[in-house]
Structures are given as structure tokens and as C-alpha cells.
Structure 1
Amino acid sequence: MGEKKIKKNKERCTLQEILTIIGGKWSMSIIYALFPGKRRFSELERMVTGINTRMLVKELKNMEANGIVVRKVFATVPPTVEYMLTDKGKKLEPIIDQLYQWGVEYVGDGVT
């Protein structure tokens, strides 16, 4: 009986960690925008409607630190920066697609 309780607490903690990594308001939208492949910073800024530059930078840094995205800087003037999903990040695609489908079914109109 005590073993189940320990397992439950461990799962709950894991879920909290997952939400820390990808639970930001903008994280899933950014990851979704990166599914087709690498994107420049300015492309992401245009694709993720409503996000400001500061928040995009913050979310990308968090996802980079957690191994979800890779940042590549090119020595150009002005500097060119590209982001792409890591293998770890790509594994989120079916999960986010399922969440999207759930939203279409249960949230209704307005899910984009």
C-alpha cells in the first residue's frame, strides 16, 4: 500500500517537471512552429502570434537549457540565428498533435 503512494508522488513530481520544461504559455506554440524544421528567430516571432521578443528569447533559452531546441548562430552582419528541435524535442510532436486534436474536439472554435 505504501509503495503505490510513493509511486503516485513520484509521478506527480515528474509531471510538474514536464510542465516546467514545456508548460510555459508559449512553449508548445514555439515547438509546434519548429516541427517542419529549422526556423530563424524572426520567423518564429512572426509565426507565434502575440508573443513579444523578450518572451520568445526567454522561452527559447529555457527550451535550449532543457535540451528541446538547438540554437545555431551564424557569423553574419547582422547575426543570423536559427533554432531547431533536438531529437528529444521531436519526440513531442505526437503528444502536441494529440493535445491539439483534443482541443479541437473539446475546446471548440478558436483553436489554431
Structure 2
Amino acid sequence: MAKRNSEHQPISDILKEFVDANKLQKGLDKVNVREAWSTMMGNGVNNYTTNIQLERETLYVQLSSSVLREELSYGKDKIIAMLNEAIGKEVIKKLVLR
């Protein structure tokens, strides 16, 4: 267990230390990517999205519509940039639509 600090610290610093000490950042990134996908893509795409997985730096998105999959494949780079911007750091380097 970590040593106790008697000085006052902002809660954001304490949470950051906790996340770093317990190596929780990868799990938080996975949650953040799912939230970013649902907010950025809107209801039209979310209705056809069946699964979202982030493994290493690749985002796997499973879609139930082949037409939508083909349409989204044309803008993969834009989608990656948009999601990374929403998250606030470069988490996704590759997008795979299934």
C-alpha cells in the first residue's frame, strides 16, 4: 500500500497516481473508445454496431450492415482521427470493420 501524504493534493492528481500505480489506463482507454464511438457516430451507426473491441492499438468494430461497413470503410482515417481527438490522445492507429 502506498504511503500517506499529509499535504493537500487535487483529486485529479490522486486519481492519476492511482490509475498509474494499478496499471488501469488500458481498461479506461477501452471504455473511453466505446463512449467516443457511440457519441461521435450517432444513432444511425449505433443501431447497426454489435461489438466494439480495442486490442493494442487496433479498434475492431462489428457491424450488422454490410452496406454501412462499406460506406464507413471509405472514411477510416477520418474516423480514427475523430475518435482520437474525442479521447484526447492517440489510442487508435488502425480501424477494422467486420
TM-score, scaled relative to structure 1: 0.28
Q: Which protein is richer in helix relative to its size?
A: 1
Q: Which protein is richer in strand relative to its size?
A: 2
